[in-house]
A = this chain, B = another copy of it.
Amino acid sequence: MARAIAFDAYGTLFDVHSVRALCEEMFPGKGAALSQLWRLKQLEYTWLRSLMGRYEDFWAVTRDALVYALKNQGVTPVEADLDRLMGEYLRLSPHAEAAEALKRLKEMGIRLSIASNGSPAMLDAVVSNARFDTLLEAVISVDPVRVFKPHDAAYKIVTDTLGLPANEILFVSSNGFDVAGASHYGFESVWIQRSTGQMEELGVQPRHAIRFLTDIPALLA
């Protein structure tokens, strides 16, 4: 049975679409489109930069993606707006059940960590804002290996940091591509499907598929 869990951050513990409200306030009628496109391009740019060997950290990539989204919606990106919207990434709301899930797992004696594309500064801010710091043993960023998920190196840093083989670690993500990458690397993968999830067709299936983070303890029983 797995004694350690690595959680993806963005989309899994934290709701990336909690930026929608500010997008809508600043650009009425465009909040949903901006939020969707911002996230889509953020992911695409992590993949494309990794493939081209042009790594920039997640903060820079997220800002570039925001610039694309604003232009696409007919908004000229200006520094003040970019700074204000990027600030939301430092205080993303945790998903509703995240705190309860982490607390219960911690009480069970499971070693808990985050394994994320985020830069260390971004992760520190969002983790501390959610008061998750005392629940987590490690907050692991891909930044030292300068390549994003689902490249193997972005998962190897997790096994190296935790000092455990991949098959003794539960890797939890709501992002289909991340679950695929984690499964490919050898983790015992858990896909958080929530209500809208559709698994990617990448020839790898998650070991477990559940609706909520609070369904994890039952997997460990």
Interface residues, chain A, with chain B CB atoms under 8 Å away? 41, 44-45, 47-54, 56, 64-65, 67-68, 71-72, 148, 150-152, 177, 180-181, 184, 198, 200-204
Residues of B within 8 A of A150 (CB): 48, 51-52
Measured in the bound complex, the distance between the Cα atoms of B73 and A124 in whole Å is 39
Bound CA–CA A181/B49 (angstroms):
9
Closest to A184 in B: B52
29 A–B pairs (Cβ distance < 8 Å), ordered by A: A44-B44, A44-B177, A45-B202, A47-B48, A48-B181, A48-B200, A49-B202, A50-B51, A51-B51, A51-B148, A51-B151, A51-B181, A52-B150, A52-B151, A52-B152, A52-B180, A52-B181, A52-B184, A52-B202, A53-B152, A54-B202, A54-B203, A64-B201, A64-B202, A64-B203, A65-B201, A67-B201, A68-B200, A72-B198
Instruction: Please give, as numbers and ranges, the residues of chain B lying within 8 Å of A67 by CB-CB distance.
Output: 201
> A206 to B192, alpha carbons, bound, how many Å?
39
